[in-house]
Amino acid sequence: MTPITLGLEEREALLGRFLRYVRVDTQSDEDATCFPSTEKQKDLARLLVVELIALGCTDAAMDEWGYVIATVPSNLPPDHPGVPTIGLIAHLDTYHATPGGGVKHQVIRHYGGGDVPLPGSGDAIPVSQNPNLSRCHGHTLITSDGRTLLGADDKAGIAEILTVVGWLKVHPEMLHGRIRIGFTPDEEVGRGTEHFDVAAFGADYAYTLDGSDLGEIEDETFCADSAVVTIKGHDVHPGYAKGKMVNAVRVAAALVEAIPQDRLPETTEGREPYLHPYAFNGEVGQAELKFLVRAFTEEELTEREEVLREAVSQVRARFPEARLEVQIKESYRNMSYKIAEDPKVLEYALEAVSRQGIQPIQRPIRGGTDGSRLSFMGLLTPNIFAGSQSYHSTHEWASLEWMAEAVAVTLQLLGVWVERS
């Protein structure tokens, strides 16, 4: 198949969808116990159901949990032997720890290079920290005004999937098998697949559109656990505290400092694992520290957890009257363990990138996707680039041209599955 080029109207439709979606506040809540963790995620879900139905997905619906599921029927001729059902998945929610409501976007046409000013904050997206900006001269860039997330993670993926559905509707000459669409809540808080019914979804293989750089196909994620350290101190009036007070806040500070500097996310890259103290809540009498534990192998994950336990032991020795308890909970595991069992799901994606005339990049994710858990639930789900950068930051930005290429690669992928089947 020759490269697919989205026309001007198609690119503008992609941009319009994306801007419409980022204006809907869908931040999830890490501390909530309900599902989805925020009802406002369903606002976007309901909007997407309406749009999918308008594009011909007559079965599009949101279930009680906030999942949006829809079908694009196969258009293969009756005598065709058929192809596996392919799922296309993206997540509704945005990151919970950076402001994400009231997004005011800016669209920069014909980007000419240099740092990107953010008018709402007086800040700028620096090229020095975003070298991919140098690859996007002449592109249409989208950012927030600098006071919030943009929400490209993962509304870029959602907009791209809707654009794939729309493109197939007006290009019936392209043969494809049955396609299942899935939009999930609560991915950012690690619960995106908690109520996802793989059997009911009915896909044989799937792909998330939740990646970043042009041409990236990701078949590896971190193995991930979370850790909570609870610290119990003793609070008394500070005027009479000598020999009595055990300050849990000071103990927590000592624990953060006890983590070796070369074990932190800000000092690691590539395949290096890390420990990340990311949330604190407490006072003198009791405090709680939350950690992310990340590594590409289970052996390295265990080693990082031992580093945390050793740091806790050191702090216990320094503050013998404080009580420290460590609880570790499994989050997800590296999906490469499962994808290796049936590698064509990866190989076809890499071929689709090549057919689009882009150099494919097979790279591990220093993070996770819904595909991590789905792969262990029986639905192999690598990750396709979505064309946006600096996730979880007010410096988040997206290239419309890279987003259009993500649409084209996904269409190529559907074609590869037809040909190879």
Q: Is 93 a catalytic residue?
A: yes
C-beta atoms surrounding 119 within 10 Å: 14
C-beta atoms surrounding 290 within 10 Å: 15
- The amino acid at 198: V
Contacts of 212 by beta carbon, 8 Å cutoff, 6+ apart: 385, 386, 387, 388, 389, 391
In 179-285, beta strands by DSSP E = 179-184, 205-211, 216-218, 223-232, 274-282
**Three-state secondary structure call for residue 23:** coil
Instruction: Tell me the CA distances in angstroms from 298 to 77, 245, 267, 302, 370, one per residue in order.
Output: 46, 40, 21, 6, 19
**Three-state secondary structure call for residue 221:** coil
Separation between Cα atoms, residue 105 and residue 86, nearest integer Å: 33
How many CA within 13 A on the CB side of residue 107? 11
Closest residue by Cα to residue 128 from 108, 114, 112, 148: 114
The single residue of 51, 93, 188, 216 carrying the catalytic annotation is 93
Q: Is 220 a catalytic residue?
A: no
Strand partners of residue 279: 290
Instruction: Tell me the CA distances in angstroms from 384 to 89, 93, 141, 394, one per residue in order.
Output: 10, 18, 20, 23
C-beta atoms surrounding 197 within 10 Å: 13
Q: Residue 208 in contact with residue 218, Cβ under 8 Å?
A: no
Token pair 């290429």 is found at: 405
86-91/179-184 β-pairing: parallel
Give DSSP secondary structure letters for 370-401. Answer: HHHHHHHTT----EEE-SEESTTSTT-EEEHH
The single residue of 160, 187, 210, 396 carrying the catalytic annotation is 187
Separation between Cα atoms, residue 369 and residue 219, nearest integer Å: 10
Q: Residue 335 in contact with residue 222, Cβ under 8 Å?
A: no
Q: For the CA atoms of 188, 30, 294, 260, what is the dihedral angle to 10 degrees?
A: 130
Write the burial class of residue 158 (CB in 10 Å: 0-12 exposed, 13-18 middle, 19+ buried): buried
Catalytic residues: 93, 187
